[in-house]
Structure 1
Amino acid sequence: MLRWITAGESHGRELLAVLEGLPAGIPIALDEVQADLARRKLGHGRGGRMKFEQDELTLSSGVRHGFTIGSPLGIRIQNTEWPKWTEVMSPAPVDAEVFTTGRGTPLTRPRPGHADLVGMQKYGFTEARPALERASARETAARVALGAVAKKFLAELGIRTVSHTVSMGEVSLPVDAAWPVPEDVDRLDADPVRCIDPETSARMVARIDEIRKSGDTLGGVTEVLVYGLPPGLGSYVHWDRRLDSRLAGALMGIQAIKSVEVGDGLEATKRPGTVAHDPLYKVDGAIHRSSERAGGIEGGMTTGGILRVRTGMKPIATVPKALHTVDVATGKNATAHHQRSDVTAVPASGVVAEAMVALILADAVVEKFGGDSLREVQRNLRSYLDNIPESLRTDSALVNAETVTGDIDDTPMGDSLSEWRV
């Protein structure tokens, strides 16, 4: 199994990340991990910190001469602003006068929608600084770095990911928009909101600009697609071994994420059963699905098709037009502290979601196929696929139900293949 953990505060010295359980022999290049950290800063509507935070990266352990060696992989990411915060965030005691002015002024007006107030209640803090520093989405930089390593491992097995923005507020992709493929990553990253459709992208950008002018923030939805997965990752035998359960938990653990959908998700709840699932057909010796509504997961296991998961991000709770709160130091009504923030971080949240999906899938691969080296994992994967009986073999290509001949029932099939987003 893989285990990972992160440490560090938003304005502390650095972020730390450890990933244990990776097989040896995976090629890892520092610039590839750095590139994913740069992708995390993308998106129209980001705040000032993205412009100067360098995310200076160090691989501290677990890699030798460009390859993993089987020991825990350690990553350090320096916080560029640390020199300005050495006293406020000092591990050692400092003079009381530090907390009378400027950055050290106690944050006693908790922001609604953040961890501020509940964090103070839970840990006994008299101000919000200790809670918000760790609760900050700055921590996701460490997860993106680990996810870049997990994606490299998956790529060596023919498994590739791509993410894109589906909606920004009320502006959404058309329902018949094409799904992006891994070859679209560079094109998506070049788009201001990481949207596959230029017309929709322009409308999203305009909406962000409107929200910025009004002093507000904006949420939205992103989608991660994974290509090349084998069938059978995950399991149906326990709730915590179901792959959809594991993915949902990991994605809901991203700051500000409030919903997760697999496949057609909530849309499937509006359809009758005859048009909500993916019928199977035998064609040319292999079993084919006529659609991909389930999102590549059935019974908590991968089907071998395209895995699709969506995450819904709420509007950022640090609103320029400050929300009403209570000053816990005086007990009086007040307006919330306004820490520097983005208008929206939805495009970047897709990159973070990619990382979490990759980590969960890498863990599922290690669980299923084992192996202490990359070559051993590759061998075990090939052996597994080779030993699936001919009668059970599937093909990830979709089949048009209207062209299938033979002994089949006449259950309504819904739309034809030509109308599916492939």
Structure 2
Amino acid sequence: MSSKFRFSTAGESHGESLVAMVSGLPAGVPVVQEVVDRELWRRQQGYGRGGRMRIERDKAHILSGVRHGKTIGSPIAMTLANNDWKNWGEILPVEEGDAAKHKAVASPRPGHADLAGSLKYDFKDARYVLERASARESAARVACGAMAKLLLRELGIEVASHTVRVGGQELGRDAAWPEIVASCAREEVLLNCVDPEAEARMKSEVDRALRTGDTIGGVFEVVVHGLPPGVGTHVNWDERMDGLLAQAVMSLQAVKAVELGRGVTAAESMGSTVHDAIAYAEEGENEPEDGGPKFTRFSREKNNAGGIEGGISNGEDIVVRGYLKPISTLRRPLGSVSFATREPVKAAYERSDVCVVPAAGVAAEAMVALTIAGLVIDKFGGDSLREMKRNFDGYAEQIRKF
């Protein structure tokens, strides 16, 4: 993460609210409440979501760092109220409270942080581990990511996601940027797949999991469009864009693998079919059909690298895939052990989802946007948006003339 640009979250799944903080955004970035809240709404959508999403109506309450609709350069603090708190206030009070009302998680769930966290923090049940390890925390990340997106948008950089696989059913082709944008703009999210026929097949996978009391995972893809070449660096291991993106997406709950470009299939292919051949066009030739930015006359025939070479953006779309395991809370629980008796029991069950692939894609958009925003701030600097734009435009002119 950038040395200047930082974000953090606080709060528990059933606590009073989530807290999100963003520091390091330049002054003058327009902040549109509806844009932030729509990102939060998108995270709550998708076929296979559980009952919690019928309770919560996430909206960001901005406390600081934004005045008269623009950032002012100071840290931005936001809260996201948990509507479910009214049912948990006496169960999870800040003060000591009534121990008889505590709802223990008495048997750890395989695949969750329950057991490892309880051992680490010396808890005799997994309640407090569950409360913070829950993917409910990702809502606060999405609020932070919305702020990063608002900055990137001012520079012509966009971030969006779509679903490429649910269970055994996959899209089976590359998605064009306009398709991804259109899918993200839909009011009925379903599974956020750009192809209706593939989406119907994915839906059947979710239905099968639902019927059997199981859960199902999948793969989402996040694309960054409009980023110029030269962002990121190869000079230090912990500053490479690919490493930072991998860490950011892997940090999301239930993500177990991250792929940049065609990283997985590249491992089983010959180099001549993997590396993206370079071409050059003179002024007026090979202009982008979508009217988007053209930073350099150098271009690639394909984008197997996913827009990153040597830890640096190369001007093509950044493509990041996250591989999401099935949710670990099952209506048909797996075997576990009682914390109290050490006897074999079934794992604890709390209200949960069946499939969260589209929602995870939105959370990953936030993490990718935050990572890219940090790198952009490091490269172009500027305490105000006007200063940053001047630096950005100057660099764009420089690489156009290269």
TM-score category by the smaller chain? over 0.9
Question: Are the equivalent residues in 2 in contact too, given 1:39–1:189 (CA < 8 A)?
Answer: no
Question: 2:87 maps to what in 1?
Answer: 84
Question: How far apart are 1:381 and its partner, in Å?
Answer: 0.6
Residue 320 of structure 2 is aligned to residue 320 of structure 1: no
For residues 289-342 of structure 1, give each alpha carbon's deviation from its aligned partner in whole angstroms, at most 9, with x where no partner exists.
111110100000111111100001000000111010000200100000111100
Question: How far apart are 1:87 and its partner, in Å?
Answer: 1.7
Q: How does 1:53-202 map to 2 (within 5 A)?
A: 53-98=56-101, 104-181=102-179, 183-188=181-186, 190-202=188-200
Residue 42 of structure 2 is aligned to residue 39 of structure 1: yes
For residues 63-108 of structure 1, give each alpha carbon's deviation from its aligned partner in whole angstroms, at most 9, with x where no partner exists.
001000000000100000111111221110012322xxxxx23222
Question: 1:284 maps to what in 2?
Answer: 282
| 1:374 partner letter | L
CA distance in 1, matches of 2:153, 2:73: 18
Question: Are the equivalent residues in 1 in contact too, given 2:180–2:194 (CA < 8 A)?
Answer: no
For residues 43-74 of structure 1, give each alpha carbon's deviation from its aligned partner in whole angstroms, at most 9, with x where no partner exists.
10000111121224210000001000000000
The match for 2:232 among 229, 234, 242 is: 234
The match for 1:335 among 328, 346, 359 is: 346
CA distance in 2, matches of 1:119, 1:185: 38
For residues 171-199 of structure 1, give each alpha carbon's deviation from its aligned partner in whole angstroms, at most 9, with x where no partner exists.
00123554555642445553410000000
Change (3 A) 1:216 1:65: same
Change (3 A) 1:95 1:288: closer
Change (3 A) 1:389 1:25: closer
Question: Are the equivalent residues in 2 in contact too, given 1:188–1:196 (CA < 8 A)?
Answer: no
Q: TM-score, normalised by structure 2?
A: 0.93
Question: 2:201 maps to what in 1?
Answer: 203
Change (3 A) 1:56 1:155: closer
Larger displacement relative to structure 2 (12-21 or 380-389): 380-389
Residue 397 of structure 2 is aligned to residue 386 of structure 1: yes
The match for 1:375 among 383, 386, 401 is: 386
Question: How far apart are 1:220 and its partner, in Å?
Answer: 0.1
Question: 1:352 maps to what in 2?
Answer: 363
Q: Which one has more relative contact order, counting CA pairs under 8 Å at least 6 apart? A: 2
Question: Are the equivalent residues in 1 in contact too, given 2:161–2:184 (CA < 8 A)?
Answer: no
Change (3 A) 1:278 1:375: same
Identity of aligned residues (%): 48
Larger Rg: 1
Larger displacement relative to structure 2 (188-197 or 315-324): 188-197
CA distance in 1, matches of 2:247, 2:186: 26
Question: Are the equivalent residues in 1 in contact too, given 2:103–2:127 (CA < 8 A)?
Answer: no
CA distance in 2, matches of 1:68, 1:367: 18
Q: TM-score, normalised by structure 1?
A: 0.89
Change (3 A) 1:266 1:141: same
Question: 1:396 maps to what in 2?
Answer: none
Q: Match of 1:60, SS?
A: strand
Question: 1:50 maps to what in 2?
Answer: 53
CA distance in 2, matches of 1:287, 1:105: 60
| 2:394 partner letter | S
Structure 2: which 5+ residue stretches go unaligned?
284-296
Change (3 A) 1:389 1:345: closer
CA distance in 2, matches of 1:47, 1:374: 40
| 2:58 partner letter | D
CA distance in 2, matches of 1:17, 1:191: 25
Question: Are the equivalent residues in 1 in contact too, given 2:179–2:194 (CA < 8 A)?
Answer: no
| 1:290 partner letter | E
Query: How many residue pairs end up in the alignment?
Result: 386
Question: Are the equivalent residues in 1 in contact too, given 2:40–2:59 (CA < 8 A)?
Answer: no
Question: How far apart are 1:225 and its partner, in Å?
Answer: 0.8
Question: Are the equivalent residues in 2 in contact too, given 1:62–1:73 (CA < 8 A)?
Answer: yes
| 2:309 partner letter | E
Q: Match of 2:83, SS?
A: coil
Structure 1: which 5+ residue stretches go unaligned?
99-103, 393-422
Change (3 A) 1:293 1:220: same
Question: Are the equivalent residues in 1 in contact too, given 2:222–2:319 (CA < 8 A)?
Answer: yes
CA distance in 2, matches of 1:355, 1:220: 18
| 1:298 partner letter | E
Question: 2:288 maps to what in 1?
Answer: none
The match for 1:294 among 301, 305, 321 is: 305
Two-structure CA RMSD over aligned residues (Å)? 1.4
Q: How does 1:254-269 map to 2 (within 5 A)?
A: 254-269=252-267
